[in-house]
Structure 1
Amino acid sequence: MESRELIIYSGNILNKAISLRKGNESNEDEIFESLKACIGQKPDLLTKNVDPLNGNAIELFSEDEMNSSHEMGDRQDLKVTLKLFLYSLERKDIIASIDRGLRSTSVDYLDNIILSFSGYSKTGALTIEHIQKAWAVLEDQVDSGKVKMIGLSDVDTQLFIQTYELVKVKPSIVQINLASCCVVPPELAEFCKQKSIQLLTHSDPLNVLPEDKVLQLSNILQESAVIPDKIGVLEALWVMRFQVHLKTRGVLATKGYVVSLNGVL
């Protein structure tokens, strides 16, 4: 028995029936259903690889789910974005999520990354030290040319301003959840206006992959015999959502999720 990482790819969910969400279905349901649709298939329809980026990780995906966004046109015509929901602040985990975002969209750089601490912060209050630790990793990705712009989601106004003042690469985007904040904080709106920061809203849940959903995924993996060994308790390290827009047409062409689950196999 050893600790192993499972990487589950949803593929492009816009090509699947699960993308046709009901009006009362949440983003949390969309994430869970897209991952369940992948691992719930017959084992012979599912590809299982030892991850080339991490020999201790196993990748799970269907061949028809791996989308190549470069087939949709020239790179300059695409807007490729990631949102990272962190449950771990380890450098290797953050880098792994970004690398898989690049692989999933078949591009060599990302237009922007939005960082969310919703999963991590459920265990306690988010601090400037937490943000700086993860932000330093994103700054390196900007310096290397892998990312053009980086931003934050669901951060208290004062914490966001403090982060902006301290970091080297300034956040270009900030997202707020109108479900938990019915109006945009005036101080944040004014600060963003002064600094030319994009202020966006979103409807993602506070915890995109709660423990009960992880347990259900674990049970599906066990029942399908995709992983022949007995699976211990799994925990999320990160969830990543990738999107590809066709800029000239204003169309969302690709959307999907990748999740990293860590446990004992």
Structure 2
Amino acid sequence: MTKLILSTGNIVSGGPSIIRKPGAYRSNLEFTNSLRSNFLAAQQDYAPDSELQSNGNGNSSANGFHQETEGAGRTPLSLWTAQEDGVLFVPRIDWSLAGLHEEPSRYQITVKLFFLPTASISDRGKYASEALDLVLQELRAPSIDLLVVSFPGMSFDGDCEWEADKLNSSQGNDDEEAATWPAIEELQRRGLAKDIGIAEFGSEKLARFLKRVQVRPTVDQINIKNCCNVPPPLVKLAREQNIELLVHSDCTDILSKGTLRELLGQGLQGAGVLADPETSVEGLQGDLAPQWVVKYTAVVRDRGVIENKGYFASADLVEC
């Protein structure tokens, strides 16, 4: 089994095509488009001079592959990815370029960790530590201000706020969420996260959750895109428990197995990491199991400007 770590790099400085667009531009599109852009940039950066291709207009192209032929002429995988201690980084990361422009204390750093449905419940503590370590290394920061956890199977959808709150009460898995939370509490106790929070918890879910945890979340993020307002019972409970309610536009189904295979496959939109038995194109073989996605944002406190924003994701590649 091979562990894959995918990264977008800083998408704020990556160009307008991968920065969040206004309106209904959801984070799964931002995430996948950013990954594609970073994969292509790495293939260009690490392409041998002999791989430069003519684009038919007299100009050179170092994109690492022919646009019209799947898998042909791609930059070798070994050049633009890196294998470290059993982990394949896609693309390779130059950690010497990591870090914020100013002292970390000048930033408000928020991290949102998405546990994916294919992830092992018992390994969530390890996943949380891995994800946060990568973010801290990328930003060269000793800690973050807020860590928000998104559990699978949770949403906040309905024709009105009352219906959304009612439907939410039966979503997710109370036992699994409560069993995971001590690992998140431990990250706070270690001083790695000042505050910890949850996402998509309605009034009934939140009330049950609070009875089962030692350290209560300070934040509850909800997506009310299909509702008019925050449900009054949730507003009341949050006020009583001193929990801040924040609205977000993140997609809960941020990385499916199919999307990941498309991102890494041999198609024209893929990075050419995986083998294609139908065309006999070589590459990694096996079944992909996405584990987690982490989104991080660093905002300059005194200016309110986002300086650094990006994503990491992890998946296991199990040989068939």
TM range (shorter): 0.7 to 0.9
1:107 aligns with 2:107: no
* Matching residue of 1:154: 200
TM-score with structure 2 setting the length: 0.72
Distance 1:230 1:58, change over 3 A: closer
Structure number with larger C-alpha Rg = 2
Name the residue aligned to 2:309. 255
Choose the corresponding residue for 2:11, options 13, 27, 52: 13
1:110 alignment partner AA:
I
Deviation, 1:183, is 2.0
Amino acid at match of 1:165: K
Given the alignment of the two structures, is residue 130 of structure 1 paired with residue 182 of structure 2, yes or no? no
Higher strand residue share: 1
How many residues are treated as equivalent by the alignment?
A: 257
Could you tell which deviates more after superposition, 153-162 or 34-43? Answer: 34-43
- For 1:1-265, list aligned pairs within 5 A: 3-17=1-15, 18-23=17-22, 24-40=24-40, 41-42=42-43, 44=46, 47-51=80-84, 55-61=85-91, 63=93, 68-70=98-100, 72-87=101-116, 88=119, 89=121, 90=123, 91-118=125-152, 125-220=171-266, 224-226=271-273, 229-264=283-318
Percent same amino acid at aligned positions?
24
Encode CA deviations 1:68-123: one digit per residue, 9 max, x unaligned.
344x22222111110001012312222211211211221111111000013x669x
Following superposition, the deviation at residue 261 of structure 1 comes to: 1.6
Aligned equivalents of 2:189 and 2:140: distance in 1? 20
Q: Distance in 1 between matches of 2:234 and 2:27?
A: 25
Aligned residues of 1:69 and 1:254 also touching (Cα < 8 A)? no
Q: Which runs of 5+ in 1 are unaligned?
A: none
Shift of 1:22: 4.1
Q: Secondary structure at the match of 1:254?
A: strand
* Distance across 2 between alignment mates of 1:67 and 1:80: 19
RMSD of Structure 2 on Structure 1 (CA):
2.6
Moved more, 156-165 or 41-50: 41-50
Alpha-carbon offset, residue 21 of structure 1:
4.1
Q: Secondary structure at the match of 2:30?
A: helix
Larger relative contact order, structure 1 or 2 (CA cutoff 8 Å, min sep 6): 1
The structure 1 segments of at least 4 consecutive aligned residues displaced by more than 6 Å after TM superposition are none
CA positional deviation for 1:57: 1.6
Q: Distance in 1 between matches of 2:287 and 2:33?
A: 20
Query: Structure 1 length normalisation: TM-score?
Result: 0.86
SS in 2 for 1:212: helix
For the residues of structure 2 that align with 1:241 and 1:99, how far apart are their CA atoms? 13
Say if 1:59 and 1:127 are closer, same or farther in 2 by CA, change over 3 A: same
The structure whose residues are more often helix, as a share, is 1
Output the amino acid matched with 2:216.
Answer: K
